[in-house]
Amino acid sequence: MHDPVCMMDVGLRDAGAMAVHDGRAYYFCSSGCREKFVTEPEKYRANVQAERLTVGVMGSADTDADDAIRQRARILGETIADQGLVLITGACPGLPRECALGARQYNGLSVGISPALSLDEHIHKYHSPTDAFDVLIYTGSGLMGREVTNIRSSDMVIILGGRSGTLGEFAIAYDEGKLIGVLEGSGGITSELKNLVRNIDKDTGALLVYESDPVTLVGHLLEVYTEKHFRRPSCFCTGPLSDDGQNEQ
């Protein structure tokens, strides 16, 4: 990839800096080039093809969630779309669907990772929605199998309520060193994650951000990703990582 300001070749993990503009990731040889870009992004953005970042929202498929929590899920989707980011969910009912509906309302791009092997199976076997997604990807892997695809397709992961299935997705994200946001007060496992992480006591490179406001949560995640986590988006990256060694923000 190239620095959009000076056009120097830069690698994903050895870039001097990075920035997110309209949901797209730009990498720079130095903080100086980054500052030039941030000051005048329209002057430089057309110089390179920049990929859109993805946010995976993992949460409860229960359709009986409290109205206030459902509303926060919609606001989360709206915020992801407003930032130009791509939303990824498990294409299930409940809070992930609410989030996807919020993203659609703001003309965001929503991708659903289905456990089914076809549209027919998605609807009739898994009783899952189709009305909130721009793209459905049929994994044929079942409910547990699609979790790995969910996480590995996401640059950042947000936990929203959830029960055992969401806990499985959290475990994958944590073990694979993802940047993880937790929407506090959204019910389910979110109230237990701080204690759980403390008891796990395992440094995987994962970073956790806790916020109760959906807009603040997305903003904080982008800040952390831009400042440091872009250098190590998963545990499969090797070599040194510039980090303070802390796994909680």
Q: Give CA–CA dist 2/8, Å, rounded.
A: 5
Q: What is the pLDDT of residues 63-120, one digit of tens each?
A: 888 999 999 999 999 999 999 999 999 999 999 999 999 999 999 999 999 999 999 9
139 pLDDT tier (thresholds 50, 70, 90): very high
Please determine, for residue 125, whether its predicted confidence score (pLDDT) is greater than 80: yes
What is the pLDDT at residue 249?
Answer: 47
C-alpha angle 169-171-172 in degrees, rounded to nearest 5: 65
Q: Which residues lie across from 58 on neighbouring strands?
A: 159
- Predicted confidence at residue 245, as pLDDT, reads 38
Region 213-234 average pLDDT? 92
| Among 103, 75, 120, residue whose Cα is nearest residue 214 | 75
pLDDT of 126 > 80? The answer is yes
CA distance 76 to 72: 6
Interval 152-195: pLDDT, tens: 999 999 999 999 999 999 999 999 999 999 999 999 999 999 99
pLDDT in tens, 224-236: 999 999 987 666 6
For residue 63, the model assigns a pLDDT of: 83
Please, what is the angle between helix 67-82 and helix 214-227, to 10°? 40
Domain residue ranges of the chain, discontinuous segments joined by +? 1-51, 54-231
Predicted confidence (pLDDT) at residue 11 exceeds the cutoff of 90? no
Fold classified for 54-231: Rossmann fold (3.40.50)
Residue 143 is inside which H or E element, if any? helix 142-152
Which pLDDT score is estimated for 90? 95
Say what the pTM is: 0.92
Name the average pLDDT for the chain. Answer: 92
CATH of span 1-51: 2.30.170
Residue 151 has pLDDT above 90, yes or no: yes
> What is the pLDDT at residue 235?
66
